[in-house]
Structure 1
Amino acid sequence: MNYFLTYTVYVLILSVLMGISTWKLFKKLGYSPLFAFIPFYNYFIILKETKHPKWWALLSYLPIVGPIMMSVFHLYLMKKFGKSLFKDQLLTVILPFIYMATVNYSKDTEIEDENDLYLTEEEKNAQKKDTFMGSITFAVVFATIIHVFVTQPFGIPTGSMERTLLVGDFLFVNKWSYGYRLPMRPVAIPFLQGTIMDTGEPGNPKDDPKSYVEAVKLPYERIFQFSKPQRNDIVVFNYPRDSVHTSLDRADPYVKRLVAVAGDTFEMRDGRLFVNNKPETVLGDQEVQHRYIVNTGSQLDIPSLYNTFGFLPVQEIPNGNGFIYAFQGLTNKTAAEIKKLPQVIDMKEDIQPKGESAIAYRDEARTKIDTTNSIFPINSGWNQDQYGPLKIPKKGDVVTLNEKTLPEYQWIIKNYEHNSLENKNGKIFVNGKETNQYTIQQDYYMMVGDNRDASLDARFFGFVPEENIVGKPMFTWMSLEGAFKDNSSSYQANKGWFFGMKVRWDRMFKATNTGEANKTSYWWIAAMILVLFFGWEYFMKLFGKKKEEE
């Protein structure tokens, strides 16, 4: 409810600004000046008077789409009053209500004669150019509507979900899978996630230019939530520990498998995953993978390894007359095949022992903990192979707060549920009141990569709040080997490669979240959509031509 109340306030503020800066122009158009203050109807009148589709007015106050459409409507209005030069258009876009107010209160502003009989050739060409630009603008708006309100493309840049999702897979994410999360930063550049660009400059990444206006914000709200995330779903969510973006819907998107839902108990024993004291259920599209250390009597044939298995060892260390290799993400089958190589002396799975705490530091003096690369919670004494048991918080749970449990719950209390939190000499204060317990306000989830030994997941960044969940990947629309890493090495066969990338045709247009080993390809649906998209305009022109001949 807070979302819609805040949204209404923004709409009313914009409508008042619109009315103050254009009421005289509406009067000159033959309408009551009060109509300039009425949301949606003010833009309906502009579209009617400028001979554009009147239903476009419905888009005028939508998050992200609205600011684009408003700028377009403002340009239409200014052109109606003869303000069509480049400087007029520029001022209308960057200072809309200020520039329109100068035109509104100017004494010599009149409606421009738009009779085509009196247009010069130059003016007619300008009209054609405006029509073309209008088509481009609306195409961008339509794509933005799909991107913001329906589905969002997402690329896989790392190998944390390898075997299930490969590096270079491009997915479409269904934003309605678990209810639609309404946009929280309504003024933003379309298609950009958090920043306009990575400047690459040394210093704080917070200084990189943002793709959204931070000051204009709406609270979290999810609508039409008919289902909750289920165990074993592949889920796209916003990284919960993002320190660059205060708006959670602008944090970096991650994709992992949901291994434990709110109320479950999660545990790793010798690198094997357990939920509620039971071994995980391995689906058909998953392959259990582990890290191995291999001792060899001589150097391995790396190009041959790449051509046979499609991957390389992550580490090669000379060791006397032989070598030590570290392999990551090996299935049982692949590990058995590597073990048979004649150079291999011995091979063992690399499992971190109990009691070996995985804490990373940002300085040589080991005084500043790197929470991004340290196991959660910091005081647990766990590592990624020996983890838990950890109970996943559920909405309504009352948890005990003390020196031992605080590292587990402090992010929830302070960052995710927006309370003040202080620890004064062992006494804990929430919102200024001393307490030894806290009631959880939303459900949390445990997200872990299928490639367990090469995944920065919930074992490091902790619980994922429900509000951070974006949706469920639907299908892979493109798969490019080499899209996110250097694949130009001599280990690759040249055949089939293009600009260092290779299309994996067998993965395209296959559903993502079925859990089946052999997924169905829906390429024929994609082909049909493309035929309809590119053939519709031609068909309509041909149909119109025949009607004229009759």
Structure 2
Amino acid sequence: MNYFLTYAVYVIILSVLMGISTWKLFKKMGYNPLFAFVPFYNYYIIQKETDHSKWWVILAYVPIVGPIMMTVFHLFLMKHFGKTSFVQKLLTVILPFIYMAFVNYSKDSELHVEDDLYLTEEEKAEGKKESFVGSITFAVVFATIVHVFFTQPFGIPTGSMERTLLVGDFLFVNKWSYGFRMPMRPLAIPFLQGTIMDTGEKNNPKDDPKSYVDAVKLPYARILQFNKPQKNDIVVFNYPQDSVHTATDRKDPYVKRCVAVAGDIMEFRAGRLFINGKPESILGDQKKQHKYIATTGSQLDVPSLYKKYGFLPVQEVQTQTGYLYDFQGLTDETAKEIKMLPQVIDLKEHIWPKDSGAVSFKLNAMHDAYTKHVDTTQSIFPINKKWNQDWYGPLKIPKKGDVVTLNHETLPEYRWIISEYEHNKLENKDGKIFVNGQEATQYTIKQDYYMMIGDNRDASLDARFFGFVPEENIVGSPMFTWLSVEGLFPDKSSSYQPDGKKIRWDRMFKATNTGEANKTSYWWVAAIILLLFFGWDYIARLFKKKESEE
């Protein structure tokens, strides 16, 4: 409800601005000037006067799509009053209410009515140009509607989900899998996630130009939520600890497997996952993968191994007696085969020692002492536990309605939930904990949380590092792989990079979230859609040609 109330406030503000900047123009068109202040009806009048489709009016009030459509209506209105030069159009686009107010209060703003019978060749050519631009605009609008409200493409740049999802896979994500999350930043450039461009490693990422207006925000709301993420679902979500973007729906998208849901207890024992005290269930499309250290007497032919086994993240270190190889994701079968290679002296699975906390330390030269450096890419969550990737937990996943105890031992576990995910003011003063100014020894959880872990457990930045994933951050679930290119993304976890790029045709248009080893291919669905699209376009052109001949 808060979402739609906030949205209504924005609509009223826009309508007031529209009315102030155009009421005289509405009067000159023969309408009551008060109509310029009426939401929907003001744009309906412009649509009626310029003879365009009525459903465009509805699109003018749709988040993200709306600003594009409103700009189109503003251009229509200005053209109706003879403002058609490049500069006038540019001013209408970048300073809409200011420029329209200038025209509105100008004495020379007169209604301009075109008669097709008296159009010059230049005007006719301009009309064709505008028609072309209009077609492109509405193609963008249609694509934006699909991208924002239905499905979104998503690429796999890292190997954290190998060998279920491969580096270079491109997926379509179903945004309705767990109910549709309404857009939270309605003023945004279509198709861009968080930033317009990356200004480089030397600059602070927070200074990169944003693709959205952060000041115009709407609260979290999810509609038609018939399902929630279940154990073993592959889920796309916004990275909770993204320090660059404050907007939840603009944080970097991640894809992992949901291994534990709200209320579950998760634990890793010697690298093996247990949920509620029981070993995890392995689906048909999952491969158990672990980190192995190989000691060899001579150098391995890594390119040949890569070609044979596919994804093979490895770091090579030369020693006095030979080489050490750090394989971050070997299956049991692959490990056995590599161990049989003549160069291999020893191959052991790497398990972190129990009670060795994965917290990095750095030298503080100013004070000549080591100080703890808390970093979620190198520190296990929560930071006060002596846990690591292989010995983790037991940790209970918070559930909506849970009442948790707050003290200095539990605070690291719940501080992000209280302050960031559930938007409270959290303070730690004089040894006491305060929530929204009130001393607190307990806190009631406001939403469900999940643990998202990569299938390639030893090469995955996942919930063991960044903690619980709020329901608010859930985007949806992958539907199918529409493209897969080997070698497209550099593998930072490996000292070897494959030569060239190669399309994996066998993965095209295959379902991704079924758990089956042999997934169904939907290439025929894609073929039918393409046939219908181009066939409909051809038939439409035939009808148009026939009408023009008559």
TM-superposed deviation, 1:346: 1.4
TM-superposed deviation, 1:366: 3.0
One-letter code aligned to 2:296 = T
TM-superposed deviation, 1:333: 0.9
CA distance in 1, matches of 2:450, 2:491: 34
Match of residue 39 from structure 1: 39
Q: For residues 109-508 of structure 1, what are the structure 2 equivalents within 5 Å?
A: 109-200=109-200, 202-312=202-312, 314-361=314-361, 365-485=370-490, 500-508=500-508
Output one character per residue of 1:216-242: Cα deviation in whole Å (capped at 9) or x when no partner: 111111111111111110000000011
Match of residue 367 from structure 2: none
Matched residue SS, 2:52: coil
Match of residue 71 from structure 1: 71
When normalised by structure 2's length, the TM-score is 0.96
CA distance in 2, matches of 1:398, 1:490: 47
CA distance in 1, matches of 2:548, 2:436: 74
More deviation in 309-318 or 75-84?
309-318
One-letter code aligned to 2:91 = L
8 Å contact 1:476–1:508 — kept in the other structure?
yes
CA distance in 2, matches of 1:547, 1:102: 42
Output one character per residue of 1:324-349: Cα deviation in whole Å (capped at 9) or x when no partner: 11111111111111111111111110
Match of residue 5 from structure 1: 5
TM-superposed deviation, 1:426: 2.5
TM-superposed deviation, 1:486: 7.0
Distance 1:486 1:279, change over 3 A: closer
One-letter code aligned to 1:540 = A
CA distance in 2, matches of 1:528, 1:467: 36
CA distance in 2, matches of 1:492, 1:439: 49
8 Å contact 1:303–1:490 — kept in the other structure?
no
Q: How much identity, in percent, do the aligned residues show?
A: 76
**Structure 1 residue ranges without an equivalent (≥5):** 495-499
Matched residue SS, 2:371: coil
Matched residue SS, 2:480: strand
8 Å contact 2:294–2:346 — kept in the other structure?
yes
8 Å contact 2:183–2:218 — kept in the other structure?
yes
One-letter code aligned to 2:248 = L
TM-superposed deviation, 1:491: 8.1
8 Å contact 2:314–2:495 — kept in the other structure?
no
Match of residue 516 from structure 1: 516
TM-superposed deviation, 1:546: 5.2
One-letter code aligned to 1:304 = S
TM-superposed deviation, 1:119: 1.4
More deviation in 376-385 or 97-106?
97-106
CA distance in 2, matches of 1:435, 1:80: 62
Distance 1:547 1:81, change over 3 A: closer
CA distance in 2, matches of 1:10, 1:374: 41
Match of residue 19 from structure 2: 19
More deviation in 8-17 or 358-367?
358-367
Output one character per residue of 1:433-473: Cα deviation in whole Å (capped at 9) or x when no partner: 11211111111000000000000000000000000000111
One-letter code aligned to 2:301 = D
TM-superposed deviation, 1:24: 1.3
Output one character per residue of 1:399-421: Cα deviation in whole Å (capped at 9) or x when no partner: 11111111101111111111111
8 Å contact 1:160–1:450 — kept in the other structure?
yes
When normalised by structure 1's length, the TM-score is 0.96
8 Å contact 1:18–1:97 — kept in the other structure?
yes
CA distance in 2, matches of 1:197, 1:492: 26
Runs of 4+ in structure 1 deviating by more than 6 angstroms, as ranges, are 489-494, 547-550
Distance 1:419 1:313, change over 3 A: closer
Output one character per residue of 1:158-199: Cα deviation in whole Å (capped at 9) or x when no partner: 000011000111111111111111001000000000011110
Match of residue 97 from structure 2: 97
Determine if the alignment matches structure 1 residue 50 to structure 2 residue 30. Answer: no
Output one character per residue of 1:462-502: Cα deviation in whole Å (capped at 9) or x when no partner: 00000000011111111111221279x998897xxxxx321
One-letter code aligned to 1:154 = F
One-letter code aligned to 1:412 = I
Matched residue SS, 1:307: helix
Distance 1:179 1:356, change over 3 A: same
More deviation in 507-516 or 425-434?
425-434
Output one character per residue of 1:226-281: Cα deviation in whole Å (capped at 9) or x when no partner: 11111110000000011111111100000000000000000000000000000000
One-letter code aligned to 1:265 = I
One-letter code aligned to 2:480 = F
8 Å contact 1:360–1:371 — kept in the other structure?
no
RMSD of Structure 2 on Structure 1 (CA): 1.8
CA distance in 2, matches of 1:15, 1:61: 11
Aligned residue pair count = 544
Distance 1:250 1:362, change over 3 A: farther
TM-superposed deviation, 1:544: 4.5
Matched residue SS, 1:399: strand
CA distance in 1, matches of 2:264, 2:233: 15
One-letter code aligned to 2:65 = V
Distance 1:143 1:426, change over 3 A: same
Matched residue SS, 1:366: strand
CA distance in 2, matches of 1:486, 1:246: 28
Output one character per residue of 1:360-402: Cα deviation in whole Å (capped at 9) or x when no partner: 2465533432233210000110000000000000011111111
Matched residue SS, 2:326: strand
Match of residue 497 from structure 1: none
Distance 1:371 1:537, change over 3 A: closer
Matched residue SS, 2:63: coil
